[in-house]
Amino acid sequence: MLIDSHCHLDYFTAAEQTDIIARAHAAGVAKMVTIGTSLTQSHNAMAIAAAHENVWCTIGVHPHEAGQDGIPTPETIAGLTACAKTIGIGESGLDYFYDKAPRDAQAANFRAHIKAAQLTGLPLCIHARDADEDIAAMLRAEMAVQKFPFLLHCFSSSRALAEAALDLGGYISFSGILTFPKSLELRDIARDIPISRLLVETDSPYLAPVPFRGKRNEPAHTAHTARKLAEVRGVSPDFIATQTTANFYRLFSKALPV
């Protein structure tokens, strides 16, 4: 069974969520993580996780939202992770493609989330878009202070950022972008990453994989990305499912049954 390590179930209605989770299970996607993008929305993610046995959540402020309501303190973020179903921090990071928030606010927000990951020991889900050098520099600087687990989610960045993340002990997750015809370089990177550091996700409702490109994405479609990853690496889909699930539980250790 697969795990969708990053989706946004709050973009769907409560009735849709039930159907979407059922379709995911039928497609071999046993569990999923719904992701925080603001402090208010993170409470919604917590409620969704509480309502569904096979859903976890993370707490965080997306770089697009950085500075909207002030930068949360690391202690505020960490304090929201007490819930048993909250297994990670984020998503947070830097986005210089859309630049919806000032870059200094994005950086301060990202640092607060890194500190929260250091305080809690929970993995940080990182959003990185057109900010590879600054992401790598901040990760190196903060790792020198105190190590923390992290995941580059929905990876579509450079090989240099992938290698920097791997050198620091990070994990890398691939989405439906991996299946797009023009994603040749991305598939080369996915082929070369150590198998023990790979995860899969949808980032739904965005980035539906081929053959659903252009349509609304959902966790069931994790299976298509996993099949492409298996093809790229020359292994079976079952192997990818087994390995990425093991990797998920190694990174998100709070998700392991007590």
For residues 75 and 65, give the distance between their C-alpha atoms in angstroms, rounded to a whole number.
Answer: 18
What integer pLDDT is reported at residue 111 of this predicted model? 98
- Whether 70 has a pLDDT exceeding 90, the answer reads no
- Whether 182 has a pLDDT exceeding 80, the answer reads yes
Alpha-carbon torsion, ordered 227, 257, 148, 229, to 10 deg:
0
| Whole-number average pLDDT of the chain | 97
Mean pLDDT of 189-202: 98
Start-end of H helices in the chain: 14-26, 39-51, 74-79, 103-120, 132-145, 159-167, 184-192, 222-233, 237-251
CATH code of the domain containing 223:
3.20.20.140
pLDDT, one tens digit per residue, over 125-176 is 999 999 999 999 999 999 999 999 999 999 999 999 999 999 999 999 999 9
The count of other CB atoms within 10 Å of the CB of residue 115 is: 21
Residue 41 belongs to domain spanning = 2-255
What integer pLDDT is reported at residue 67 of this predicted model? 79
pTM over 0.75: yes
Mean pLDDT of 195-209: 98
For residues 157 and 167, give the distance between their C-alpha atoms in angstroms, rounded to a whole number.
Answer: 16
What integer pLDDT is reported at residue 31 of this predicted model? 98
Q: How confident is the model at residue 257 (pLDDT cuts 50, 70, 90)?
A: confident
pLDDT > 90 fraction of the chain, expressed in percent and rounded: 97
- Whether 117 has a pLDDT exceeding 80, the answer reads yes
> Tokens for 66?
């950085």
Q: How many domains does the chain have?
A: 1
- Whether 101 has a pLDDT exceeding 70, the answer reads yes
- Whether 258 has a pLDDT exceeding 70, the answer reads no
Contacts of 247 (CB under 8 A, 6+ apart): 171, 196, 197, 198, 199
